[in-house]
Amino acid sequence: MMRPPEIIRLTPGKRVLFLTKDPELIRRQLRGELDLRMEDLTIDDLLDDINTDAMTPAWVCFSHRPEDIARDAYAGLIVDGKRLFERDALIHGNFEVIVSGLRKGVGSSRETAVQAEKWSGIRIAIAASFAPIHARNNMSQGVLMGDHDMLRRLQTGEGIPLAEFCEGWDPITQLVIRHGGLFPFSKAVAAGEVELPKPDTGPRPMTMAEKILARHMPGDGPHYVQPGDAVVVQVDGGYSHEFTTAQVHYFLEQEYGPGYQVRNPDKFAVFEDHLIYADEVPKMRAFSDKIETLRQLQREFQRHTGVRDFSAQDGISPGICHEVAREQLIDPGDFIQATDSHTCMGGVNNALTWGVGATEYADLVHAGFTQVEVPESIRFELAGKLQPGVTAKDLMLYILLHHARPQWTLNRVMEFTGPGVATLSMDERATLTNMATECSARTAIVVADAETFRWLAEWRPGVDVERLRRRVVAPDPDAEYAGGIYTIDLSTLRPMVAHPGNPDEGIPSDPTNGAWIDEIGDVPIDIAYGGSCTAGKIDDLIFYHQVVKEAVDAGLKVADGVRFLIQCGSVAVENFVRRNGLADTFERAGVTLIHPGCGACIGCGPGVSEDPDQVTVSAINRNYKGRSGPGKLWLASPLTVAASAFTGRITAYTPGMFRKVAARRPVLV
Ligand code: SF4
């Protein structure tokens, strides 16, 4: 990567691409018939909320080399059933600047979206605002970000100081931008060419996240941090999966040669979990060869580095990375980074965990440290106890509607504390941390209590519990929460869903579309899916079973025309299900029980819809349009998913509900 010059100018002969709401204007620019200037348009004319899935749909990410990914840049931008950007369109357009409206890069955290632009020749992205993770990925890749006024000035021939492109970033990120991206920055640090700024924050009360970051700063402590401080911190561990590892391997080879090394291989791991069922999704079959290449490259990376190996055995995954990581790898007080947005789930173990792009991950496994701007926090004080029939998933759907929708959780760490925490099992707490990413939060963390240590000791026989206790963090009494402190009385919650929106009325499908089930009317379903990192834990399987058992005892089977799929989150979960007779009940009811793995939210796993008319009720985490097939996806709790599978329409579970149904309906066994 090249260091950007001190004065940024447009390159003579290179072009600027405006992503306009009018697709015809984009077509004409791509065909080379039109060159626009900023004064020809208003910001309102530009596309808002460009989703990373539109920039690089999952199938594009089956290529691991950025130069191949770039060939299908914006392949997910479909107008009237056709790609707006044909293959190679962005590369052949000779563009160096790309311009859009508000919130560029929303959706998933996939870094390939930035790679697709960069390897097509883009060096400056202009937008009214950028989604936080997408902005970070631009920065890692050395793509400069600016606003529409800066573009106006550039198009008049003005040179803009690089310092203006650094404004608003913390001091370390500014250094990364000045060096042209993360790899050149890290090399400069390793060569002693960069003096890193050290925050001089003095003693202050801290949140849980702040305490963990402060502890991970090098040198003798105690250290103190506050939001906005730029710090270099050691990373305790991390993991990647077969959808992402190949890029990590590729980048490390490119940057450090084929003999590259990673710092602490025994602290890092690879998982074969996300594409394990991709071959069974009809739309993904065309990519079988590429997927196999990804698997092989992951094995090659594992052999080369010696990181812990969670490969599939005889075609069966040991489990979803986030589930296995909390079961086996993540200790209280850890700082963990992994290449997936649901890495936040590990916060259930009182750790600080969040997802990063392949570049950041490659950089940190090589260096053993990373750069962080200390995030702000928001706190949820849980009180009371959930009513029967209400679960942690309903709580998260409530938080998504009331706290994430108004953006109070945006890029903040969500801390869960209060007496209500003790009423939730560790599996239920993991649902809370898992869905922090749907809240667009940086991550989530749960306070540790006796149940935390009981659970860890149960899952890790022989573990030194006293050592774990010493690593725990709790918020100081006067810790500051920029996002506020909210008390939620669990006993007031009712079963909720997130609805799939209504594209005809401009309402996008979004996890924040919360609604009480008793207010949504009659919604017949085709698919009920219980699984994923959010809902494939032992307690989730117990929830499904609770409903299925009642239904079976009442003589019911899964409703006609409905497919009910349940997928275990790990081998340990599946063993529990089979050893304790849950699997037998599922079989009697007509439920399809699936080995561990996922892919549900990237359209690569069981439970995805195949046509736009299908309606799914799912216990997964996100319902962004198209991520789990073309149908309509309602998010719900495991209890709701299971109850709906028997009634054939979205239905909240109430204990004993099938006894009443059985009295009215003929026995179907
Ligand atoms: S839902 Fe499945 S595919 Fe999506 S992040 Fe979780 S484990 Fe991965």
CA distance 35 to 18: 9
CA distance 272 to 164: 43
Burial (0-12, 13-18, 19+ Cβ within 10 Å), 384: middle
Tell me the best of 570, 602, 618, 624 to mutate to test the pocket of ligand 1, counting ligand atoms within 8 Å of each CB and taking the most.
Answer: 602
CA of 173 to the centre of ligand 1 (A): 29
The predicted pLDDT at position 505 comes to: 74
Tell me the best of 320, 321, 534 to mutate to test the pocket of ligand 1, counting ligand atoms within 8 Å of each CB and taking the most.
Answer: 320
Instruction: Give me the chain's average pLDDT, please.
Output: 94
The one-letter code for the residue type at 90 is: L
Q: What pTM, to 2 d.p., does this model score?
A: 0.93
Reply yes or no on whether the pLDDT at 369 is more than 80.
yes
How many helices (H) and strands (E) the chain has is answered by 25, 26
- Mean pLDDT over 593-614 rounds to 85
Cβ–Cβ under 8 Å, residues 641 and 529:
yes
pLDDT tens-digit series, residues 279-311: 888 888 899 999 999 999 999 999 999 999 999
Q: Residue 666: which pLDDT band, with cuts at 50, 70 and 90?
A: very low
Reply yes or no on whether the pLDDT at 48 is more than 80.
yes
Virtual torsion, Cα 398, 399, 405, 406, nearest 10 deg: 120
How many CB atoms within 10 Å of residue 64?
Answer: 23
The alpha helices in 473-620, defined as continuous H runs, are 532-535, 538-553, 571-579, 582-589
Tokens of 582: 């849950």
Tokens of 602: 């990237």
- Mean pLDDT over 258-287 rounds to 91
The predicted pLDDT at position 107 comes to: 75
Tokens of 189: 């640090």
The lowest-confidence range among 46-60, 343-357, 460-474, 512-526 is: 46-60
The lowest-confidence range among 271-280, 488-497, 513-522 is: 271-280
pLDDT tens-digit series, residues 187-228: 999 899 998 888 899 999 999 999 999 999 998 889 999 999
CA distance 182 to 137: 10
Share of the chain above pLDDT 70, in %: 98
Q: Ligand 1 atom closest to Cα of 342?
A: 5
Q: Residue 669: which pLDDT band, with cuts at 50, 70 and 90?
A: very low
The predicted pLDDT at position 462 comes to: 97
CA of 534 to the centre of ligand 1 (A): 8
Residues 612-632 as b/e (b if ≥16 CB within 10 A, e otherwise) read eebbbbbbbbbbbbbbbbbbb
- Mean pLDDT over 593-603 rounds to 85
The predicted pLDDT at position 660 comes to: 64
pLDDT tens-digit series, residues 409-449: 999 999 999 999 999 999 999 999 999 999 989 999 999 99
Cβ–Cβ under 8 Å, residues 97 and 16:
yes
Sign, CA torsion 630/632/636/638:
negative
Of 168, 156, 40, 60, give the one whose Cα is nearest residue 111.
60
- Mean pLDDT over 541-561 rounds to 98
Q: Whose CA is nearest to atom 8 of ligand 1?
A: 599
362 or 133, higher pLDDT: 362
pLDDT tens-digit series, residues 635-653: 999 999 999 999 999 999 9
CA distance 143 to 182: 11
Q: Ligand 1 atom closest to Cα of 621?
A: 1
- Mean pLDDT over 94-99 rounds to 98
Cβ–Cβ under 8 Å, residues 119 and 70:
yes
Virtual torsion, Cα 509, 510, 513, 517, nearest 10 deg: 70
The predicted pLDDT at position 437 comes to: 92
CA of 532 to the centre of ligand 1 (A): 6
The predicted pLDDT at position 47 comes to: 94
CA of 591 to the centre of ligand 1 (A): 21
The one-letter code for the residue type at 213 is: L
- DSSP secondary structure code for residue 525 in this structure: -
CA distance 233 to 228: 14
CA of 621 to the centre of ligand 1 (A): 8
Q: Residue 606: which pLDDT band, with cuts at 50, 70 and 90?
A: confident
Of 205, 669, 123, give the one whose Cα is nearest residue 481.
205
Q: CA distances (Å), 375 to each of 413, 484, 487, 495, in order?
A: 7, 14, 21, 32
Cβ–Cβ under 8 Å, residues 391 and 637:
yes
pLDDT tens-digit series, residues 373-411: 999 999 999 999 999 999 999 999 999 999 999 989 999
Q: Identify the helix (H) or strand (E) that includes residue 451.
A: helix 450-459
CA of 434 to the centre of ligand 1 (A): 10
The predicted pLDDT at position 661 comes to: 62
Pocket of ligand 1 (CB under 6 A): 274, 320, 340, 342, 532-533, 598-602, 620-621
